[in-house]
Structure 1
Amino acid sequence: MGLAMLVSGVLIARGNPRGARLYGVALVLTAIWAVWDAGLEYWPLVSRVLAFAVIGLVVALVYPSLMRASGARPGRAAHGLAGLLGVGVVATLAYMFVPTHMVKADKVPAIQPVAPGTEQKDWAHWGNTTAGNRFAALDQINKGNIGQLQVAWTFRTGDLPESNGAGAEDQNTPLQIGDTVYTCTAYGKVFALDADTGAERWKFDPQGYAPNWQRCRGLGYFDASAAAATSSAPAAAPAACTKRLFLPTGDARLIALDAETGKPCADFGHQGTVDLKTDMGEIKPGYYQQTSTPLVAGTVVIVGGRVADNFSTGEPPGVVRAFDVRSGELMWAWDPGNPATTKRPPAGETYTRGTPNVWSAMSYDAKLGLVYLPTGNATPDFFGGQRSEFDDKWSSSVVALDVKTGQVRWHFQTTHHDLWDFDLPAQPLLYDIPDDKGGVQPALAQVTKQGEIFLLNRETGQPIARVEERPVPQGNVPGERYSPTQPFSVEMPSIGNQTLTESDMWGATPFDQLLCRIQFKGMRHEGVYTPPGLDHALQFPGSLGGMNWGSVSVDPTSHYMFVNDMRLGLANYMIPRDQIGAGASGIEMGVVPQDGTPFGAMRQRFLSAVGIPCQKPPFGTMSAIDLKTRKLMWQVPVGTVQDTGPLGIRMHLPIPIGMPTLGASLATQSGLLFFAGTQDFYLRAFDTGNGNEIWKARLPVGSQSGPMTYVSPKTGRQYILLTAGGARQSPDRGDYVIAYALPK
């Protein structure tokens, strides 16, 4: 086509009508090739044909002039052809704005009204419950009246997150207890707000510091009076801090606050604070911190910790610890590198350094007395030749611990000898699935960065949906070892993890598509588990996912689980130690040092020359999976190019191409699914039955918050609430807490 354009262009410039005919033949052949290469999918065909069709329209319009210039008499066919091309181009452009399902629903479950007395009272945990269901049994706001939803109040924290990609991000899900909303900022400031007006009641500043990765995804909450009412053992409620919040900080502290006043609870730890650096050994600034919500499980509060990726071996320990919610006393510790250490290590020693950590949110089943940990892998991510037997045993796994002792009951590994940063990023969903005998199976659903979803029996750890160990490609990096197989969840849908081919390459124009094809042909790609090597390799999905920390929501009335994902590849290669420069950093993309191993690593997003993912759209979707039948019920692209575009230039167009998503969703019993974790600035509501977008509200900036909902005990109004601090890839930052409600 390039040669044809050059020749035809020269001929047309000389006034020769044969140039137009040559271009017409080339355009027809290009269209035939495009269908052969990409099938009849809309976005791939747009990439291959639209720009050439627009040029063809212009050529058809000038063809009569070329005929006259050559002394011939033009016919009318050129005008007819131009008309057809014009209609085709206009129709193609118009169709860009039409939402298109990836998978269409073939049925829509009936809505079950909330029975009197079963309404949700409080949103007391990050995922609403310790099961992480992000579901609210509320239906005042429903599909019939959501068009009337409007901003009820807005609060500004004054604490704008400043991010360079590895800096501060607002990824919070607020809590609501009674008539008070509690929220925390990326820098750890806590605000208590009136649930009906947003008026500030108190605030607390931990005055902490972290050089990077500042975020507070959520607070923990404990009510001593409620715990005493449900406990068989007598326990005296403290005189103060009966209701307490637990704040994790970026400088590795756990602070207990009186939920009524915002003052530290003096009886917890040392004047309200437990120092999480205790027994951890050397911790350089930014190497260990708390970013996810602490888990309040009965009368203990449990924390893991984020450990800096890819700087070196021997980084801070990945220990998980449980503290008494009242006193802050260490009740137990799980050290993945030393099972004998069940509380503090022996004097003069530390917890095992460099072990797999738990940076994401955990779940808790009070009936079974089990806490469920989604583990990461031992640093660094992309070379594991030095990892110990314990590292390989516990990394990238769901680990079930006894809540009273911290002893392991079972564990299930989702990636063996993880060389891809496929740590488990999301809170496990605990859900009871109806069986065929009138009972239920106690299930755990775990989404992963690699696009696999594992469905396990949460009592035993055995798969409910069949898992197969399948052979995977083997690498040849000196000093590395490779697992010959990896687990695939074959009876659950896989999302966004197909093995890419050259025909999957895409671009906004044929030219950047061509560059992506060239880039793809220059890399080794063998599917999800393409091992890193000294050559250029493509990992898809990349280390961001797939699915990430937002986890899932679920509607127990339909058994639908809602999963949002992103589809971003990672281009990488290993760099011998003697070739690592002084500027290597473990932050975001680029060269990471991986000190203590023979290799550093280069990491780059698989993007085109204009900054668009190189594979065909969508780049992010929302999916509904029936947990009872394990079928994908619908799937829709999420997000537009309203606030982003090529080279970071905002296109200001509501084209629903489907952009990478990062955040949590909210399902309500009224058949609504709320989500804001897109790259455009909207809070959206989808119909949970079919995935149709039925409402959206423009936000002042983007959001990575998890929407939550509550009914005010004072006014009886239902609110939808979220924070908006900025979309991850946008420079626009904000400090908003926004509540929506129906008109009074």
Structure 2
Amino acid sequence: MNNSGAAAGSRWLLVGLGLLIALIGLGLAGGGGYLVTLGGSGYFLLMGLAMFVSGLLIAKRKPAGAWLYGVALVLTAIWAVWDAGLEYWPLVSRVLTFAVIGLVVALIYPQLARASGVTPGRGAYGLAGLLGIGVVATLAYMFVPTHVVKSSSEPAVTPVAPGDEQKDWAHWGNTTAGNRFAALDQINKGNIDKLQVAWTFHTGDIPESNGSGAEDQNTPLQIGDTVYVCTAYGKVFSLDADTGAQRWKFDPQGSGPNWQRCRGLGYFDSHTSAQPAAPATCAKRLFLPTGDARLIALDAETGAPCDGFGDHGTVDLKTDMGEVKSGYYQQTSTPLVAGNVVIVGGRVADNFSTGEPPGVVRAFDVHSGELVWAWDPGNPNTTKRPPPGETYTRGTPNVWSAMSYDAKLGLVYMPTGNATPDFFAGERTALDDKWSSSIVAIDVKTGQVRWHFQTTHHDLWDFDLPAQPLLYDIPDGKGGLQPALAQVTKQGEIFLLNRETGVPIARVEERPVPQGNVPGERYSPTQPFSVDMPSIGNQQLTESDMWGATPFDQLMCRIQFKGMRHQGVYTPPGLDRALQFPGSLGGMNWGSVSVDPNTHYMFVNDMRLGLANYMIPRDKIAAGASGIEMGVVPQAGTPFGAMRERFLSAAGIPCQKPPFGTMSAIDLKTHKLVWQVPVGTVEDTGPLGIRMHMPIPIGMPTLGASLATQSGLLFFAGTQDFYLRAFDTGNGNEIWKSRLPVGSQSGPMTYVSPKTGTQYIVLTAGGARQSPDRGDYVIAYALPKK
């Protein structure tokens, strides 16, 4: 190319670059100006104007354009540190994009200088080199795992004493205490790098991601040399613990329009019960909850229904419930086997109407299926079946998550939901308000309430208790132990109570909370805060907490934020657009916790997703409104429906700063947060749902259960990327991971085969919550055979 051609090319390059910078600046200035009118930061307006003028000057081939941009970039860096501190992800959002533009401007500066008749030096290239190094280093650091909270010390690992090894995984949470801890150490920190897939089984029952809400969230059971799994559609498989070979299969022939899942099975062994002799058949039995509201007892040896239980093996849970529309009442969580009774609650469809099916909890005889007792939250006089012609009280608080049981105290601990609808509660009764969003301790023999503790008063946020209570004995400071109960919540609070009395062990304060003004509603003036336990991911957000992958979606998130009312965790729903953080998914959810009794560390995973909501007058609700998790819900029977939307950027990224999901260790002796790490990468997700294929450990929303072992390992798979991970329980470092064929919401479990002496880690993989990829995998890991 001759000199004239090169000059023309250079001229058009500068014109094009300048106009691009000017257009970017114009967009920033427009959005920034609107943000200022909302009372927000003036930075984006000023930076947009600077870029607009800078771009026009560059298009005119004026070196002053580059100088102006350089000054604006330096001021941006100063503002970013002032606004966000020295946190990596907030600074990246504010500075990186502008730094890349600055790098390009530095590279073209010599052309600007020559265009103005000045001989350029080499300083611009040196500056470009420094910016390039900074950009590359910043991008590289994205892949470096970084603790939110680092541990200051690490406890020693206690070996499992001979004879103390765990024998079976007989309950959803391993024990009825829900500890998800295994006293096994064959797989340990010294050899986990050798862990590999030992066998894989396909159920053939893939939970379809077609809007039906089917999800695989199972934790398998293991009894002796057999593993039991259930699928989202309720099929049960018995597998050889060493090979994964199928022994039997049971299909309940169930159906349901939505929310299909089987989180776990119940198990009962007649040989360990108080009855004189075990029956000839069904001495060991499984209890299967179905999505169409049945409780089925199966012979654990053959898979055949236990004929003497209920009606040829089945108890119809719709009995005495009144009208139950399809999908309005179903079983989604594991039944609790507590002594000689099996106890079930039930999921009630949220937000369709008042007067939905009852939230009654019932205990059935494990042998006969006869009703032993019922707890009707709306009628304390109904202790078994209601009088003829009547039903259990409709629309009452339910127990949809897993329950716990203390055999020594004879108490069952039930985490209750709230009386539906969730976001308008003016119609609720005094008993609804009494029992909603509470831990209720029930006498296992009589069904009578011993005590209860409420975690949210007059719940307007869907802060129902989502997790199995952890029963754990903690040091009392006097050389003894006290019986404790730890309950995690959607609002990021953790309550630590004496499980014999319900009295808080860790201090709880009633604090004033914002009051609303929706006609016909009433508001609790205070809410309980567990002030002596760590709060997880529930800080009150400010504009500076807004985030985006670039400054542009950060600006849009700031505009969203300033256009909403946000008053902290208990921001009441209103007719205006309000921000609830955490949202109704949590915080913490159904996966519950695990604990290591040797260190007293409790492990908690969370998600951090805000919810934008507002009430809609009844006459404005469109026909057919039926948002299950998001969208417009009708709340028929009340004056208002409600809109619910995730607080996301236009790119589908949470609007608040990362992490969006973490794993935390809490010392139950000291009540202190020991360590906290982001969990999950964007490898299998990303903006607009496009997979980034990059293992950037930003910390994504989690949904699932963890597993702690005595070898100092914590296993977890409930992330949005497709991995089973192991963390060092002492410091939170990720020390191993294995790629899964699809994502998993399963709770990993572990056992040692009584035949071979091999320790296995087993989980199911049916798909991550936000991924369209689905599967039917049961996967077992073990060390290589010697």
TM-score, with structure 2 as normaliser = 0.94
Say if 2:550 is the partner of 1:509.
yes
Q: Is the 2:723–2:740 contact (alpha carbons within 8 Å) kept by the matching residues of 1?
A: yes
Say if 2:400 is the partner of 1:400.
no
2:21 alignment partner in structure 1: none
Say if 2:379 is the partner of 1:335.
no
Structural mapping, 1:75-224, within 5 Å: 75-164=121-210, 167-224=213-270
**More off after superposition, 726-735 vs 581-590:** 581-590
1:353 alignment partner in structure 2: 394
Residue 699 of structure 1 deviates from its aligned partner by 0.1
Residue 314 of structure 1 deviates from its aligned partner by 0.1
1:373 alignment partner in structure 2: 414
Question: Which of 598, 605, 608 is residue 567 of structure 1 equivalent to?
Answer: 608
Say if 2:752 is the partner of 1:711.
yes
Say if 2:473 is the partner of 1:457.
no
For the residue of structure 2 that corresponds to 1:22, the secondary structure is: helix
Structural mapping, 1:674-713, within 5 Å: 674-713=715-754
Question: Which of 764, 768, 774 is residue 727 of structure 1 equivalent to?
Answer: 768
Q: How many residues align?
A: 739
Residue 374 of structure 1 deviates from its aligned partner by 0.1
Question: Which of 325, 330, 335 is residue 289 of structure 1 equivalent to?
Answer: 330
Q: Is the 1:707–1:720 contact (alpha carbons within 8 Å) kept by the matching residues of 2?
A: yes
Q: Is the 2:212–2:257 contact (alpha carbons within 8 Å) kept by the matching residues of 1?
A: no
Determine the C-alpha separation between the residues in 1 that align with 2:674 and 2:478.
24
Determine the C-alpha separation between the residues in 1 that align with 2:85 and 2:191.
41
2:295 alignment partner in structure 1: 254
Please list the CA deviations of residues 374-409 of structure 1 after superposition, one character each: whole Å capped at 9, or x if unmatched. 000000000000000000000000000000000000
1:439 alignment partner in structure 2: 480
Q: Is the 2:181–2:594 contact (alpha carbons within 8 Å) kept by the matching residues of 1?
A: yes
For the residue of structure 2 that corresponds to 1:181, the secondary structure is: strand
1:27 alignment partner in structure 2: 73
Q: Is the 1:241–1:259 contact (alpha carbons within 8 Å) kept by the matching residues of 2?
A: yes
1:15 alignment partner in structure 2: 61
Determine the C-alpha separation between the residues in 2 that align with 1:225 and 1:165.
44
Determine the C-alpha separation between the residues in 2 that align with 1:739 and 1:264.
28
Please list the CA deviations of residues 75-121 of structure 1 after superposition, one character each: whole Å capped at 9, or x if unmatched. 12111111111111011001000000000000000000000111000
Residue 235 of structure 1 deviates from its aligned partner by 3.2
Question: Which of 247, 272, 282 is residue 226 of structure 1 equivalent to?
Answer: 272
Determine the C-alpha separation between the residues in 1 that align with 2:136 and 2:413.
53
Please list the CA deviations of residues 305-338 of structure 1 after superposition, one character each: whole Å capped at 9, or x if unmatched. 0000000000000000000000000000000000
For the residue of structure 1 that corresponds to 2:132, the secondary structure is: helix
Determine the C-alpha separation between the residues in 2 that align with 1:651 and 1:256.
45
Question: Which of 502, 508, 512 is residue 467 of structure 1 equivalent to?
Answer: 508
Structural mapping, 1:479-498, within 5 Å: 479-498=520-539
For the residue of structure 1 that corresponds to 2:606, the secondary structure is: strand
Determine the C-alpha separation between the residues in 2 that align with 1:687 and 1:175.
25
Determine the C-alpha separation between the residues in 1 that align with 2:349 and 2:736.
39
Structural mapping, 1:475-554, within 5 Å: 475-554=516-595
Structural mapping, 1:603-642, within 5 Å: 603-642=644-683
Determine the C-alpha separation between the residues in 2 that align with 1:152 and 1:50.
44
Q: Is the 2:61–2:116 contact (alpha carbons within 8 Å) kept by the matching residues of 1?
A: yes
Structural mapping, 1:53-92, within 5 Å: 53-92=99-138
Question: Which of 579, 582, 598 is residue 639 of structure 2 equivalent to?
Answer: 598
Determine the C-alpha separation between the residues in 1 that align with 2:79 and 2:758.
58
Distance 1:683 1:354, change over 3 A: same
Residue 166 of structure 1 deviates from its aligned partner by 5.5
Please list the CA deviations of residues 620-668 of structure 1 after superposition, one character each: whole Å capped at 9, or x if unmatched. 0000000001000000000000000000000000100000000000000
The aligned amino acid for 2:237 is: F
Residue 586 of structure 1 deviates from its aligned partner by 3.6
Residue 211 of structure 1 deviates from its aligned partner by 0.4
The aligned amino acid for 1:568 is: L
Determine the C-alpha separation between the residues in 1 that align with 2:210 and 2:390.
37
Determine the C-alpha separation between the residues in 1 that align with 2:487 and 2:672.
16
Residue 583 of structure 1 deviates from its aligned partner by 3.1
Question: Which of 45, 58, 65 is residue 91 of structure 2 equivalent to?
Answer: 45
1:298 alignment partner in structure 2: 339
Q: Is the 1:166–1:588 contact (alpha carbons within 8 Å) kept by the matching residues of 2?
A: no
Determine the C-alpha separation between the residues in 2 that align with 1:347 and 1:521.
56
Q: Is the 1:468–1:490 contact (alpha carbons within 8 Å) kept by the matching residues of 2?
A: yes
Structural mapping, 1:379-398, within 5 Å: 379-398=420-439
Residue 164 of structure 1 deviates from its aligned partner by 4.4
Determine the C-alpha separation between the residues in 2 that align with 1:525 and 1:336.
33
Residue 436 of structure 1 deviates from its aligned partner by 1.7
**More off after superposition, 545-554 vs 81-90:** 81-90
Question: Which of 361, 365, 376 is residue 324 of structure 1 equivalent to?
Answer: 365
2:9 alignment partner in structure 1: none
Q: Is the 2:722–2:744 contact (alpha carbons within 8 Å) kept by the matching residues of 1?
A: yes
The aligned amino acid for 1:174 is: P
Determine the C-alpha separation between the residues in 2 that align with 1:7 and 1:583.
51
Determine the C-alpha separation between the residues in 2 that align with 1:389 and 1:143.
53
Alignment gaps of 5+ in structure 2: 1-46
Please list the CA deviations of residues 512-571 of structure 1 after superposition, one character each: whole Å capped at 9, or x if unmatched. 000000000000000000000000000000000000000000000000000000000000
For the residue of structure 2 that corresponds to 1:566, the secondary structure is: coil
Residue 165 of structure 1 deviates from its aligned partner by 5.7
Q: Is the 1:165–1:729 contact (alpha carbons within 8 Å) kept by the matching residues of 2?
A: no
Q: Is the 2:626–2:634 contact (alpha carbons within 8 Å) kept by the matching residues of 1?
A: yes
Determine the C-alpha separation between the residues in 2 that align with 1:405 and 1:439.
30
Distance 1:167 1:273, change over 3 A: same
Residue 275 of structure 1 deviates from its aligned partner by 0.2
The aligned amino acid for 1:106 is: S
Determine the C-alpha separation between the residues in 2 that align with 1:163 and 1:492.
38
Distance 1:565 1:458, change over 3 A: same
Residue 727 of structure 1 deviates from its aligned partner by 0.2
Say if 2:314 is the partner of 1:273.
yes
2:11 alignment partner in structure 1: none
The aligned amino acid for 1:93 is: L
Determine the C-alpha separation between the residues in 2 that align with 1:118 and 1:210.
43
The aligned amino acid for 1:309 is: D
Residue 163 of structure 1 deviates from its aligned partner by 2.6
For the residue of structure 1 that corresponds to 2:133, the secondary structure is: helix
Q: Is the 2:359–2:376 contact (alpha carbons within 8 Å) kept by the matching residues of 1?
A: yes
Alignment gaps of 5+ in structure 1: none
For the residue of structure 2 that corresponds to 1:267, the secondary structure is: coil
Determine the C-alpha separation between the residues in 2 that align with 1:550 and 1:523.
31
Please list the CA deviations of residues 257-311 of structure 1 after superposition, one character each: whole Å capped at 9, or x if unmatched. 0000000000000000000000000000000000000000000000000000000
Determine the C-alpha separation between the residues in 1 that align with 2:59 and 2:312.
83
Determine the C-alpha separation between the residues in 2 that align with 1:156 and 1:641.
27
Structure number with larger C-alpha Rg? 2
Determine the C-alpha separation between the residues in 1 that align with 2:568 and 2:529.
13
**More off after superposition, 71-80 vs 471-480:** 71-80
